């Protein structure tokens, strides 16, 4: 009887133990996709992130579908404490310190082109998030940034093209 209880306990323990790297979180670990394989979430640095959603308080909206092709904002955090990318209309670069679950943005320098009203509105919304201290998570290939006051964004990891580095 004692052996049966121990065997049952061992089976339950083995069945509920997560495989290494099968978790999901901001540490770059992954999650399963239901197919028995483990998908690893990318690290925050070195990954090109394309903005797909904007958050204001409790409202989450997808980027306007009528943005011109190639105008979705994107950003890449460097290992050297930098950030660069596109706001949808203008390009930018600056400092971004990644520590724990926090990213602190320094002042960003950007070009100053005028674009269509929709693109400029998206740009203003993205800039409102990329100012000062934010918190972040990465889950299922999506980076979520949240600034104080409820502003935020969601960005999907862009798979690198074969033979090309991201950025």
Q: What is the rounded CA–CA span in Å between residue 144 and residue 122? A: 16
Q: What is the rounded CA–CA span in Å between residue 30 and residue 26? A: 9
As given in the structure block, the two tokens for residue 142 are 């999506």
In tens digits, the chain (167 residues) has pLDDT values of 333 333 332 333 333 333 323 333 444 444 444 555 566 899 999 999 999 999 998 899 998 776 766 789 999 999 999 999 999 999 999 999 999 999 999 999 999 999 888 889 999 999 999 999 999 999 999 999 999 989 999 999 997 766 555 44
If one counts every other C-beta atom within 10 angstroms of the C-beta of residue 130, the result is 23
Interacting residues of 78 by C-beta distance below 8 A, sequence separation 6+: 45, 46, 84
């Amino acid at each position: 009887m004692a052996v049966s209880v121990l065997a049952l306990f061992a089976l339950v323990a083995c069945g509920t133990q997560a495989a290494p790297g099968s978790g999901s979180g901001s540490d770059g670990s992954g999650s399963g996709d239901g197919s028995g394989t483990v998908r690893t979430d990318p690290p925050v640095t070195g990954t090109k992130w394309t903005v797909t959603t904007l958050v204001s308080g409790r409202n989450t909206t997808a980027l306007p579908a009528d943005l011109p092709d190639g105008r979705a904002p994107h950003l890449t955090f460097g290992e050297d404490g930098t950030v660069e990318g596109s706001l949808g209309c203008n390009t930018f670069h600056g400092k971004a310190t990644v520590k724990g679950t926090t990213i602190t943005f320094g002042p960003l320098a950007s070009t100053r082109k005028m674009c269509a009203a929709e693109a400029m509105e998206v740009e203003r919304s993205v800039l409102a998030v990329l100012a000062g201290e934010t918190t972040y998570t990465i889950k299922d290939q999506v980076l979520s940034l949240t600034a104080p006051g409820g502003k935020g964004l969601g960005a999907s990891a862009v798979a690198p093209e074969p033979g090309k580095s991201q950025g």
